[in-house]
Amino acid sequence: MVLGPSGSGKTTLLNLVGCLDQPTGGKIEVCGEKVAEITDDRISEFRAKNIGFIFQNFNLIPVLSALENVEYPLTLLGMKTSERRERSMSILGSVGLSDHARHRPNQLSGGQKQRVAIARALVKGPSLVLADEPTANLDSTTGAAIIDLMHRVQEEYGASFIFSTHDPQLISHAQDVFSIRDGELIEHRSEG
Amino acid sequence: MTTLNIAARNITRNYRRSLMTISAIAVGTMSMLLFGEFVSQIFVSLETQNVTRSGHIALFRSGYFNYGAGNPAAYGIRDYQDVIGLMGEDAFLKPLINVVTPTINLFGIAGNFDAESSKTFVGLGVIPADYNIMHRWDEHHLKLGTTAGDISLNEKDESHGFIGAGLARILGLCETLKLGDCPERQRGDQETVQTKSGRNKRDFSGLEEEAKQTNSDAGNGPAPRLDLLAATANGAPNVVNFYVDKAIVQGIKEYDDSFVIMNFNLAQKLLFGRGEKKAVSIVLQLHQTEDIPVARARLEKLIKDKGLDLETRELTELQPFYKQAVGMFLAIFSFISIVMAVIVLFTVVNTMSMSVMERTQEIGTLRAMGVKRKGIAVQFVLEGILLGLIGATVGIVIGSVAGEIINHAGLTWHPPGQAYPTPLLVRTKGVGHLLFGIWTGLGVMATIAAWIPARRAARMKIVDALGHV
């Protein structure tokens, strides 16, 4: 869990860990890979294989159904249609959206969209899932449900989650809490 | 769920904008197609008109084409029947040839002494049977016909032929030939005619009486007679009687005012008198225009092998107007195509740029999930290609329907060099290459147009794209 006030550098840190941005100085190693030293195509492949993203605004592809949104990361890995369809349906079932598999994002509520986003992030079995304020655009009840869901699927799929948040509900679920301010780590608290 | 599938869905995302883009491309395609079909129709019509008149290839005595028009008698082909036999017997040429026939080009003075009028003429002497076959040539199945009705030359009587409508008017044959477009003569002209008529009606009175007798004997009926005067090979003047069966309107006024088409034998008598009978040219009409290069090459080889003093000229040299008209219409078609291509280019660039701008966050998301730069570019290029090809397909369908409507609307126009109103037609058959060219051309333009915004999308920084609102 990464905590900090606005402008403290939470999103920048997540972007660097998620290989979405390059550091201007220093070194960065993600899942054993020195990501600052590899080409853009290699980084893309690395992200496709190892990192899942959950965004504040859900960022689902509007022209794809819930099922197709979940399937998409598997397409990038070159998985066969039948296998990826089975896997996607399974994970959609895990997030409680089996009945909404054919729905487009505009036919889903905010909470349902975020469930699809969680399924999409986890479907490829990534080593790391990055969630940038995943409950910020949800009401407190839906947010709590999403937090419970993420907690459950994390245990079920064994992926490491890194959150950035202001949400106190989410903080209570964290095992490690890193507080940063002005780009500096000011506190590390381990709950486990 | 392929990239193509996603591209197709993205097109329907902002359907109104896509519809406008497709409509613009379709209108451009339709315009190019209709004009292309119209130009294609003009090409084959011009080709047919020129080939029926002067064939595909002509053989002349060396030097005639550049210098002989002023003295055709001096450039006669002596053993023209042998040359024709040589071509007719050649195993390579024979299947290519529709007609091979001698002709005579000459000029002189045509006089109608009953009306005391005379005028210089440009004449063509042809063998009527060959000329009539040549006139039926229709490689492109246009069935053009002519509003002049039957223009078959009289095959029985060598003294009969046709003249241009302008020449008939000038020579005072309006009433006799029942010409429609004959304004009443100015008073001065009539007075002159009356005065001269009263004094001395004609100088060749003996010839006139003789001709009247001949005409009556031959059962020529009311065909008006002209006296054609020309210089023979040795410079002596020569006169023949010529009976006008019909006046035919020619496209160009100068030609209309001087054209005479007559029997080959009569032309020989006029040009060569009692001397050796020759031909001025030998005309070849092929079954297919595309055979010109091989037929000409073969002819030149025959000429060389036999040591003949002949040269060959093909359609575009014989009828420079045909070449010029084709060039002009091609230039106009190219210009319109370029304008349409630019419109398509800007339309697709605009649409795809808007799409990239609206989908910036989506681009960031796709890149975050692991889509490579190339994948993003391909996605947008594919959308541009789809827009271009859908628009082009719609344009071709609408254009084809519009073409059929035009062809059945009964519209007419006056093409350059054509005296009669011609049906306004577009060529809808045998234009597969045009359809394919326009379709692929616009597809290529749409690809180029989509590549510009697609490249920009692919180069976006992921964090900037994700942060875009």
| CB neighbours of residue B360 within 10 Å | 17
C-beta atoms of A44 and B6 within 8 A: no
Measured between CB atoms, which of A20, A61, A68 is closest to B362?
A61
Give the strand pairing for A184-190 and B422-423: unpaired
Residues in contact with A49: Cβ distance below 8 Å, sequence separation at least 6, in sequence order: A77, A124, A126, B370
Q: How far apart are CA A92 and CA A101, in angstroms?
A: 7
**How far is B366 from chain A, CA to nearest CA, in Å?**
9
B→A contacts (Cβ < 8 Å), by residue, are 1, 6, 9-10, 12-13, 361-362, 364-374, 461-463, 466
Mean pLDDT, each 10-residue run in order, chain A (192 residues): 87 90 87 84 93 91 94 93 93 89 94 92 89 82 80 79 81 85 88 62
With contacts defined as CB-CB under 8 Å, which chain A residues touch B366? Answer: 61
Q: Do A47 and B369 touch (CB under 8 A)?
A: yes
Answering whether pTM is above 0.80, one says no
Residues of A with CB under 8 A from a CB of B: 15, 18, 20-21, 40-41, 44-49, 53, 55, 57, 59, 61-64, 68, 71-73, 75-76, 120
**How many angstroms separate the CA of residue B44 from the nearest CA in chain A?**
50
Contact A59/B13, CB-based, under 8 Å? no
Per DSSP, chain A holds a count of helices (H) and strands (E) of: 7, 6
| Set of chain B residues whose Cβ sits within 8 Å of the Cβ of A71 | 1
Q: Which of B355, B358, B362, B462 to mutate to test the interface with A (most CBs of A within 10 A)?
A: B462
Query: CB–CB of B370 and A47 under 8 A?
Result: yes
pLDDT of residue B200: 46
Which residues does chain B have within 8 Å of residue A42's beta carbon, measured at their own beta carbons? none
Beta partners for residue A160, in sequence order: A128
Beta-carbon contacts of A88 under 8 Å, excluding residues fewer than 6 positions away, are A67, A70, A71, A74, A119, A123
List chain B residues with CB under 8 Å of A21.
461-463
Burial of A116 (0-12, 13-18, 19+ CB in 10 A): buried
- Select from A13, A42, A61 the residue whose CB has the most chain B CBs within 10 Å, as the one to mutate to test that interface: A61
CB contact under 8 A, A21 and B463: yes
Cβ–Cβ of B1/A64 closer than 8 Å?
yes
Shortest Cα distance, chain B CAs vs residue A6, angstroms: 15
Question: Hey, of A10, A15, A20, which one would you mutate to test binding to chain B, going by the most B CBs within 10 A of its CB?
Answer: A20
Q: How many interchain CB pairs under 8 A, A with B?
A: 67
pLDDT string in tens for chain B (469-residue length): 678 889 999 998 888 999 999 999 999 999 999 999 999 988 888 888 889 888 999 999 998 888 887 778 788 898 899 999 999 899 999 999 999 999 999 899 999 988 888 999 999 999 999 988 898 898 888 776 544 445 678 888 889 999 998 999 999 888 888 887 777 766 555 444 444 444 444 455 555 555 555 555 554 556 889 999 998 877 788 999 999 998 888 777 888 899 999 999 999 999 888 778 899 999 999 999 999 999 999 999 999 999 999 999 999 998 888 888 889 999 999 999 999 899 889 999 999 999 999 999 999 999 999 999 999 999 999 999 999 999 999 999 999 999 999 999 989 887 766 666 778 889 988 889 999 999 999 989 999 999 999 999 999 999 999 886 6
